[in-house]
Amino acid sequence: MEKIKVGVLGATGTVGQRFITLLEDHPYFELTKVAASERSSGKTYEEAVAGRWKVSGDIPEKVKGMTVQEVKPGLDCQVVFSAMDASAAGPIEEEFAGAGYSVFSNARSHRYDPDVPILLPEINAEHAAVIEYQQKSRGWKGFIVTNSNCSTMGLVIPLKPLDLAFGLEAVNVVTLQAVSGAGYPGVSSLDIIDNVIPYISGEEPKMERESLKMLGRLEAGKTFVDASFKISAQCNRVFVLDGHLGCTSVGLRKKPGVEEFTAALADFSGRPQELKLPSAPERPIIVRTEEDRPQPRFDRDHGEGMSVTVGRIRPCNVLDFKLLILSHNTVRGAAGASILNAEFLKAEGYY
């Protein structure tokens, strides 16, 4: 099969870098274009990221010499992955969608648009159906699909099977989030050394709002109806490089035992697994049984960073169960999720 040409918008930032490493030798996609802000455009990619390449491994050889393009339609590719800042992403992504590109966005700009899905095919594959409505009502040949904020992603994957099996009533989550989530230069070492920063701008409302949309339903192919459980988030930045940990408690309508609760998580599988998509981990949720796991450094890379690891499942005195949820914030929580969305919509014939 001939590979699909793809571009990365905002290619020089930390999420853009992650796209580039994940797209190296991808079985469906061939990276043909990298685009970034004026400061970088016209330079080679290697020049543009000099001193700012922060993911592990060196820049892929074939990307080093690519000329960084301006971020505007006209790029020779069919799919674009957007790692742009939300401040700029909104209108530019629309422009690309209007020009016929399939836009997979990591920015928050369009997440709350009523005709744009926050797609995560393990849990809400059926939300993709809104794309037809989006194209028709906006008059676009292309489309925009978003993925959620990194902290939301890890949370909603295990919430889905719990909701299916037992009915979610309430979710309380306290996150311990990695510094890579803030990009580069991001968190100052003067702020985080011997410290915790118990506040991440905008993060708590994002987690609450996105979870309800993602676990809600799409009515008549065009209207999202939020899920109805109660959800509260508290977000902290801790001194960890990669991997967001969520200390979670859930209230349920049905009251399972620990084993039944655990089995619902361990046995979960979704459309990406059925379709055997290249970026789909064999198991979307891995359950650890040690008393002190998951831990960011030891568990973030399971399933090439695409599995979510849960553990310490135990009864809760306030809600029904407590559990830990760990996910890799720049892979499953960002670039990897976007690429999985692109694989999924390709497999489903959306482009």
Among 6, 9, 13, 14, interactor with a second copy by CB under 8 A:
14
Residue 3 in contact with a second copy, rule: CB under 8 A: no
Count residues near a second copy (CB under 8 A).
60
Q: Which stretch binds a second copy (CB under 8 A): 38-46, 73-81, 153-161, 164-172?
A: 164-172
Residue 1 in contact with a second copy, rule: CB under 8 A: no
Return the residue matching tokens 């996910």: 327
Residue 61 in contact with a second copy, rule: CB under 8 A: no
Three-state DSSP class for 158?
helix
Residue 51 in contact with a second copy, rule: CB under 8 A: yes
Residue 157 in contact with a second copy, rule: CB under 8 A: no
Q: Which two tokens stand for residue 155?
A: 């949370």
Among 13, 121, 294, 333, interactor with a second copy by CB under 8 A:
294
Neighbouring CB atoms inside 10 A of 293's CB total 17
Residue 198 in contact with a second copy, rule: CB under 8 A: yes
Q: Give the whole-angstrom CA distance, residue 265 versus residue 261.
A: 7
Binders in 205-244 for a second copy, by CB under 8 A: 208, 230-232, 234, 236, 238-241
Q: Give the whole-angstrom CA distance, residue 300 versus residue 105.
A: 23
Q: What sign for the dihedral angle of Cα 277, 279, 282, 284?
A: negative
Among 316, 348, 350, 351, interactor with a second copy by CB under 8 A:
316
What is the per-residue binding string for a second copy in 237-276, x denoting contact by CB under 8 A? -xxxx---x-x-x-x-------------------------
Three-state DSSP class for 275?
coil
> Residue 31: which H helix or E strand, with range?
strand 29-35
Nearest-CA neighbor of 95 among 39, 142, 145, 36? Answer: 142
> Which one from 150, 235, 302, 328 is the annotated catalytic residue?
150
Q: Give the whole-angstrom CA distance, residue 19 versus residue 144.
A: 17
Residue 282 in contact with a second copy, rule: CB under 8 A: no
Ramachandran area for residue 57 (φ above 0: left; ψ -120 to 50: alpha; else beta):
left
201 phi and psi angles, rounded to 5 deg: -55, 125
Residue 24 in contact with a second copy, rule: CB under 8 A: no
Based on the residue annotation, tell me whether 150 is a catalytic residue of this protein.
yes
Based on the residue annotation, tell me whether 244 is a catalytic residue of this protein.
yes
Residue 85 in contact with a second copy, rule: CB under 8 A: no
Shortest spacing between CB 84 and a second copy, in angstroms: 19
Among 186, 216, 256, 278, interactor with a second copy by CB under 8 A:
186
Neighbouring residues of 149: CB distance < 8 A, sequence distance ≥ 6: 108, 111, 203, 206, 207, 210, 333
Q: Give the whole-angstrom CA distance, residue 55 versus residue 14.
A: 7
Residue 281 in contact with a second copy, rule: CB under 8 A: no
Q: Which stretch binds a second copy (CB under 8 A): 16-24, 96-104, 112-120, 176-184?
A: 176-184
* Choice between 77 and 200, CB closer to a second copy: 200
> Which one from 110, 127, 244, 302 is the annotated catalytic residue?
244
- Partners of 135 in beta bridges: none
Neighbouring residues of 39: CB distance < 8 A, sequence distance ≥ 6: none
Q: Which residues are at the interface with a second copy (CB under 8 A)?
A: 14, 50-51, 54, 56, 170-172, 174, 176, 179-180, 184-199, 208, 230-232, 234, 236, 238-241, 245, 247, 249, 251, 290-298, 301, 311-312, 316-319, 322, 324
**Which residues are identified as catalytic?**
150, 244
